[in-house]
Structure 1
């Protein structure tokens, strides 16, 4: 059986607890939290929301020249 020191085990549990507390506002309604708990949601990027961002640029000088 593997042996982990108590500090390492406590550190892993602390990191997991912080991760769960950070993700709670995305899963539970705002009214369920006490007043002292920060209820800011984590903003997901376009890659995690499933969207994409497309930016098109027109070279207006070439367009006017071709017309």
Structure 2
């Protein structure tokens, strides 16, 4: 049986480690709307999470919002 909680915690920690490395660095900021921004760090962490999900669950569909 798949332990979704264990998997989710591991991926969240990995993404957190990646995000910590971006602290105190300049970021590329893009605007998705008038007041809705997304940073390079947002995209990097989202890409990592999606990659890990597809590695473990290749048949799952993903709808993501960084």
**Which interval holds the TM-score relative to the shorter structure?**
0.3 to 0.5
TM-score normalised by structure 2 residue count = 0.35
TM-score normalised by structure 1 residue count = 0.35
Which of the pair has more CA radius of gyration?
A: 1
From the two aligned structures, give the one with the greater strand fraction: 2
